[in-house]
Amino acid sequence: MFTKFITRLAFLFLLIDSSFAKTVGIIQIIEHPALDATRQGIIDRLKKTDPTLKIVWRSAQGTLATSVQLAQKFVGQKVDAIVALGTTSAQAATKVAQGTTIPVVFASVTDPKSAGLVGLAAGVSNFVDVDQQLSSIQRILPNLTRLGIIYSPGEANSEKLIKLTQEYCKNKGIELVCSVAMKPMDVMMATKKLAGTVDAIFINNDNTALAAFPTIVKIADETRTPVFASDADLIKSGAVSVLGPDQYEIGVQTADVLTEILKTALGSRVLLVEYPKSVDLYFNKDKAAALGLSIDPSLTYKDLS
């Protein structure tokens, strides 16, 4: 009798508790180390700021139609917020959630304006000032005349960055050599085309190039070509220097945007697009030494040797 009563009471508590606990649905378009790191940052941060929050994350495993169905699942479930990782999942989630009161917060979208998200969703864009990145490369390699870049023309993130890179290089008199890779499989050939003929290789947020980053480093090392990247995690994969945000930190920032939105009442919500708060110059002294680079001693950086 007593145990029956306790179970009933516990069940009742669970029901009440679940109705007060808020749910957040996370949609990830595809599994990928950078996106995974951002997702982990979001989840860890949310768990710290609100331990009662129920977090459900799902991956569309690369298929767009599935991400639409995922958005439908979350919106139909009436979650309290949707977090979308990647441009296409953000677009799908925003469309499905249109007309409902569910806020959509995105991360890892380089160009929210072209994606039609501004005003409809809040989030953190992973756009890093390309000029800053390239001028840091020039500081490390003052004699830079030819810069190689590997990307996939099928990625919305890359095309915008390529345009900006081309502008900067034109202004500074650097010759930009573009090497295209449609799939991670093609990256090896794309790198071989550049290695030995350029002074340095630069990789931005392109998912295709990032997926095969170790290959790029291996081939570049053979010709002692330094590889620059945009994500701090890539230093340990062999990049010599990175001016960029930490993908995990972007996740943390996104979680904070989400918490802020969940705290504000429906009518007074402001959907802002933020840019990475912490952008640092990360440097690997050992790698630089191995490549035979001599570094300007006045350069300040975070040492990740």
Partner 1 sequence: MNILQVTGAVELGLIYSLVALGVYLSFKILQFPDLTVDGSFPLGAAVSVSLISVGVNPIWATLAAFAAGGLAGFVTAILSTKFKVTDLIAGIITMTALYSINIRIMGGKSNVSIMDKQTVISQLKLFFQLLFDSYALSAMLIVFVGLIVLSCYYFLSSQYGLAIRATGNNARMARANGISDGRMIQVGLAASNGLVALAGSLFGQESAFSDVNLGIGTIVAGLAAVILGETILPSKRLIYQILACVLGAIVYRFIIAFALNADDLGLEPTDLNLITAIILASAMIFSRYKKGLSQ
Residue pair 120/103 in contact (Cβ under 8 Å)? The answer is no
Look at the alpha carbons of 186, 188, 193, 195 in this order and tell me if their dihedral is positive or negative.
positive
First to last CA, the chain: 65
On whether the CB atoms of residues 74 and 55 are closer than 8 A, the answer is no
Point out which residues bind partner 1 (CB under 8 A): 31, 56-66, 68-70, 72-73, 75-78, 87-88, 91-92, 94-96, 114-117, 120, 153-156, 158-159, 182
Identify which of residues 120 and 295 has a Cβ nearer to partner 1 in the complex. Answer: 120
Q: Which is nearer to partner 1, 61 or 171 (CB)?
A: 61
E strands of the chain, at which residues? 23-28, 54-59, 81-85, 104-107, 122-124, 146-151, 175-180, 200-202, 227-229, 241-244, 273-274, 280-283, 302-303
Minimum distance from CB of 74 to partner 1 (Å)?
A: 9
In this complex, which beta carbon is closest to partner 1, that of residue 109 or of residue 137?
Answer: 109
Q: Least CB distance from residue 82 to partner 1, whole Å?
A: 13
Least separation in angstroms between residue 77's CB and partner 1 is: 6
- Distance in Å, CB of 165 to partner 1, minimum: 15
User: Shortest distance, CB of residue 87 to partner 1, whole angstroms?
Assistant: 6
Residue length of the chain: 305
Give the residue with the Cβ less far from partner 1, 96 or 169: 96
Pick 78 or 302: Cβ nearer partner 1: 78
Angle 279-198-146 (CA atoms, 0-180°, nearest 5)? 70
